[in-house]
Amino acid sequence: MASLQEQIQQYEQEIIAFQSANAAELEDFRIRFLGAKGIVKQIFGEMKNVPADQRKEAGQMLNAFKILAEEKYDSFKAQQVDTKASGPLVDHTLPGTPLPLGTRHPLRVVENKIVSIFERIGFSVATGPEIEDDWHNFTSLNMPEHHPARDMQDTFYVSTNPDWVLRTHTSSTQARILETESLPIRVICPGRVYRNETISARAHCFFHQCEGLYVDKNVSFADLKQTLYYFVTEMFGENTKVRFRPSYFPFTEPSAEMDISCTVCGGSGCNLCKHTGWVEILGCGMVHPNMLRNFGIDPEVYTGFAFGMGVERITQVKYQVNDLRMYSQNDVRFLRQFQAIQ
Ligand code: PHE
């Protein structure tokens, strides 16, 4: 009995001193003390050798020893479960790290606005390829080879194929629609276009357009004016005035450029309108009979109007962006300013 007691005391020292750094060490501890062939089992087996009158006392001692081993094991096990579940201690109730929200690009915001204004009066959206063939970008639009109007737009040609250009305007999409869709046609064509210009505050080698086309019986210049007037009041507000100046485009006749009363000074004169009170925002006109004929449409039966605007220009006038380059510099200080108007 005395030796059993000594033995137990020795083991108790070992248990008290035990520190577990990892699951493997803890498992070794469990097997050594609490396993099927472990020390606790073994010592309980010795009970049969204890004289009957000392059994009660020995039983209590053994029970206390067993509990000590179990508690030691349980306390480390609890810690182990914790670390296993979460790695370094993490408080899942803390607020998360915020992910900053991006913003839509101002050009996309304005393009969406333009498109939705025209969608409300029955225009549908059409898009086309940015690498375009000569027919859709020029020839079908009443600009045959050597037509001087081709020089109005400095063109990027694709070196491997002389018939291909980077489209200089989205009128090429209108040509594709006239080719494939049946009449009447009412489309708005947004997209990126390219011109061989030196990059500066006022010019860029690529920009964005939204061009519209309406072809039906009895479409008149009055319809064109009214449609564009509706667009201007929706985009710039009810009190905005419009005026049309005669102009020239090969694919429209008559052609016009449309100005609106200056959105900054209201007409009294400022830098945006160069002290004229007016800012030019788009080109337009009645679709040229030659262009209709190019697509097998009889100009005696059908007429149409077309218009084209630069999305950068509309954005500049609406939000006073005074340098075209800002649109493609990806400066978040610029882009974030448009967060409120998404
Ligand atoms: N395509 C012309 C341009 O890019 C704009 C335009 C479109 C003018 C339709 C008249 C009619 O400048």
pLDDT digits (tens, 9 = 90+) for 95-142: 888 888 888 999 999 999 999 999 999 999 999 999 999 999 999 999
Query: Is 306 a pocket residue for ligand 1 (Cβ < 6 Å)?
Result: yes
> Which of 155, 169, 204, 303 has most ligand 1 atoms within 8 Å of its beta carbon, as the pocket-test mutant?
169
State the pLDDT at residue 342.
66
Parallel/antiparallel/unpaired status of strands 303-310 and 252-261: unpaired
State the pLDDT at residue 97.
86
State the pLDDT at residue 259.
97
pLDDT at 331 over 60: yes
State the pLDDT at residue 2.
64
- The SS3 assignment for 32 reads helix
Residue closest by Cα to atom 7 of ligand 1: 308
Report the C-alpha gap between 16 and 76 in whole angstroms: 12
State the pLDDT at residue 236.
96
Query: Is 249 a pocket residue for ligand 1 (Cβ < 6 Å)?
Result: yes
For the entire predicted model, the pTM comes to 0.73
Give the per-residue SS3 of 252-281: EEEEEEEEEECCCCCCCCCCCCCCCCEEEE
Residue closest by Cα to atom 6 of ligand 1: 308
- Give the chain's end-to-end CA distance (angstroms, integer): 86
Average pLDDT, the chain: 92
pLDDT at 84 over 70: no
Residues 6+ apart with CB under 8 A from 242: 225, 228, 229, 232, 258, 259, 260, 261
Provide the pLDDT confidence category of residue 42 given band limits of 50, 70 and 90: very high
Query: Which two tokens mark 187?
Result: 């489309």
State the pLDDT at residue 278.
95
Cα of 304 to ligand 1 centre, how many Å?
A: 14
Query: Is 190 a pocket residue for ligand 1 (Cβ < 6 Å)?
Result: no
Query: Is 315 a pocket residue for ligand 1 (Cβ < 6 Å)?
Result: no
Query: Is 308 a pocket residue for ligand 1 (Cβ < 6 Å)?
Result: yes
pLDDT at 70 over 60: yes
Mean pLDDT of 214-224: 98
Check if the beta carbon of residue 229 is closer than 8 Å to that of residue 237. no
Tokens 């340098």: give the residue. 323
Query: Is 170 a pocket residue for ligand 1 (Cβ < 6 Å)?
Result: no
State the pLDDT at residue 80.
72
State the pLDDT at residue 100.
81
pLDDT at 55 over 80: yes
Q: What is the pLDDT of residues 240-269, one digit of tens each?
A: 999 999 999 999 999 999 999 998 888 888
State the pLDDT at residue 216.
98
pLDDT at 85 over 60: no
